[in-house]
Amino acid sequence: MPFLLLGFVLVMPLLFVLLLPFTIVQRYRAGTARRVARPWFARLNAGMIAFSAMLFLGAGALLNFWVPDALLSTLAGLAAGSLLGLLGLKLTRWESTARTLHYTPHRPLVLLITIAVAARILYGFWRSWHAWQNAGSGEPWLATSGAAGSLAVGGVVLGYYFIYWSGVARRLKTRGRLNVVSVK
């Protein structure tokens, strides 16, 4: 039984690495699909991402004790992601029907964010490996692993999706006010 557990523990990271390209391609395909805009879904996403961003800021502030410029990287990433989110809303294709609103996110922007995340994951593996091998040089392993850059990319993703989903929710709210028909 212990060998089975040991085999499972050793296979899981390998399985994660092998499936990573597939999950990134699937994320891009799902991120660029035409969707029906649902108010409850947009509000739920915006709220959950806001909660995640608060936790992310707290983690960046805590990590700042061990990693130089961790909080600054976190804030810069959130700011850059927010600007990308505004650009994403501007470039999104909106299609309005009598009953629903459909939207299609801008493909090159979604591709840019997907590639940034994939590149940061690969760079993080490479940089962590080298930092781990040079751990005896006196520098803290966590500080040399490139964690601040990972926080910046994570902030870009969170900032982008928070602004994007908040904008979708706002667009649905204003659309609902415009389509109110009073019957006398």
Q: What is the pLDDT of residues 129-157, one digit of tens each?
A: 776 676 666 666 666 667 778 889 999 99
pLDDT at site 12: 82
Tokens of 95: 């299609």
151 within a domain of the structure (yes/no): yes
17 within a domain of the structure (yes/no): no
pLDDT at site 130: 72
119 within a domain of the structure (yes/no): yes
Residue whose C-alpha is closest to residue 42's, from 94, 83, 80, 111? 94
CB 70 within 8 A of CB 151: yes
CA–CA separation, 136 vs 139, rounded Å? 8
pLDDT at site 51: 97
26 within a domain of the structure (yes/no): no
122 within a domain of the structure (yes/no): yes
pLDDT at site 60: 93
Q: What is the pTM of this model?
A: 0.79
153 within a domain of the structure (yes/no): yes
1 within a domain of the structure (yes/no): no
pLDDT at site 182: 39
Tally of domains within the chain:
1
Q: Give the range of the structural domain holding residue 166, as residue numbers without chain letter.
A: 38-134+141-172
60 within a domain of the structure (yes/no): yes
pLDDT under 50: residue ranges of the chain: 178-184
Helix (H), strand (E) at residue 82: helix 70-91
CB 139 within 8 A of CB 61: no
Amino acid letter, 161 = Y
